[in-house]
Amino acid sequence: MSAVKIAVVTGSTDGLGRVAATMLARDGYRVWVHGRDVLRGETLVRQIAAQGGEARFLRADFGSLGEVRAFATHLLHELPALDLLINNAGIGPLSPGGAGGRELSADGYELRWAVNYLAGFLLTHMLLPALERAAPARIVNVSSLGQFPLDFSNLMLERAYSGMRAYAQSKLAQVLFTFDLARALRLRGVTVNALHPATFMDTTMVRAMNVEPRSTVAAGAAALMHLACAPEHSGTSGEFFDGMSRARAHAQAYDLQAQQRLAAISERLTGLVANPASAAT
């Protein structure tokens, strides 16, 4: 394990990620802050420094797999090891301004699938060497109780599109990925879990949906920090949590064939293996 613990928190210039990055820095982690907005990222780094913490900001738009690769490559060059990866970056059912139509990523994939799921899938696989060097290390995928089963013949939702379905299937994909990766990492000193931090937190994403918040970002951050840092979860892996408690995800999350099929498709879509043209079949 590295002498100073290091954490990467994606989507950490606002909302849950921002609070988590601040709390981790307060607890002595050297934190890598991620987001698309340079001003917000650099402002957070200065605020963390003013409180005696240490953080650096690295910009990337996770709607582009090329930017995800560049982000991971930069981190691998900078990091001796990585103790904690929190995959928190994501977009909600509606775009800023309330638009709800189908959108594509820079790579031509359905945008919520690309940002909420594929970006974290690629980033995690690229950062695994650094995580293993820090073992015992942890990965937390910030998911949701809002889950919609994957139709493998329509992953890009060219049919029957809705923003909520797109969001919910991306969140279930995170859970399938969590369970599959946890099994692969079982003897490698890296744990991975998925978390629904809290329901309808008072975040920009929830406000964009015109939904009345039911919980606070602070409550979600407490659940996230507990799973990411609490000693009692040092060996916990391959679990889905609702707040502080273990929970059941959608039934498809436990289907080994679905997990393996999703992994194979995701490897091709992200370029971890060749022949992306056949990926969505």
Active site residues: 167
* DSSP reduced 3-state for 140: strand
Which residue, chain included where needed, has tokens 């679905």? 258
CB neighbourhood size of 162 (10 A): 14
Least Cα distance to 171 among 203, 153, 197, 207 occurs for 197
Distances (CA, A) of 26 to 52, 174, 227: 7, 28, 17
Please name which of 51, 15, 17, 16 lies closest in space to residue 32, comparing C-alpha atoms: 17
Question: From CA 138, how far away is CA 131, in angstroms rounded?
Answer: 8
| CA proximity to 47, closest of 89, 82, 87, 18 | 18
Spatial distance between the Cα atoms of 157 and 203, rounded to a whole number of angstroms: 26
| Buried/exposed 215-225: b ≥16 CB within 10 Å, e otherwise | bebebbbbbbb
**76: Cβ–Cβ under 8 A, 6 or more apart, which residues?**
126, 127, 129, 130
